[in-house]
Amino acid sequence: MNSRGGMTLHDAAREFRRHPTPWMLGATLVGATAARIHTGDWQLTDALVPAVMLAAFPFAEWLIHVLILHWRPRRIAGIRLDPLLSRKHREHHVEPRDLPLVFIPWRSLLRVLPLAVAIATLAFPSLGRGLTFLTILAALGLGYEWCHYLIHTDYKPKTAVYRAIWRNHRRHHFKNEHYWFTVTSSGTADRVLRTYPDPAVVDTSPTARNLHADV
């Protein structure tokens, strides 16, 4: 990797391709797209499904980040509950520049992707709409991986839109982990759900790099 400030998008893409989850999501995207085209039966709802998913995605990011990634380990009925995603996310906060920790754990995707395929084939009124859902879901997942990865590299923002997204997520890591939970947008769900404060009035958290330090 080039020194800070010298990374290009080409450099970033070359490193991105070295990790397993982009390939897993990319293969799902290609397969779902091919299956959708082969199935045919295009309807107006094939435009509605992506629109709804795009609108809902920032809120899904927020909920997953708050409820799963920031899950506080606890014992219930004598059993310690500490999911892999939560453990890896705590490690990610400790070492935000450790690139393997930036990506969704591939073992988690091995469970999530078959579940997504099952939902696509069983939960929709037609196979076509289900495959549209699966295609958009894979595209959103791949976009999330790329955006999150890029924020944690040495690539410097070149546009106002990406600079806002970059700044939003870095505040979560280096200012206060209790705010700024969205990753691929600049505080959309955070603004609605009241986790987008003025950073000037937010204290720097002593546990931003060590989540649940008291656990």
Domain ranges of the chain: 22-158
State the Cα–Cα distance between residues 169 and 182, nearest whole angstrom: 7
State the Cα–Cα distance between residues 10 and 16, nearest whole angstrom: 10
State the Cα–Cα distance between residues 201 and 203, nearest whole angstrom: 7
199, 171 Cβ separation under 8 angstroms: yes
Give 45-92 pLDDT, tens digit per residue: 999 999 999 999 999 999 999 999 999 999 988 899 999 999 999 999
> What's the distance, Cα to Cα, between the start and end of the chain in Å?
35
Given this model, what pLDDT does residue 149 score?
A: 98
Q: Would you place residue 215 in the very low, low, confident or very high pLDDT band (cuts 50, 70, 90)?
A: low
Give 109-132 pLDDT, tens digit per residue: 999 999 999 999 999 999 999 999
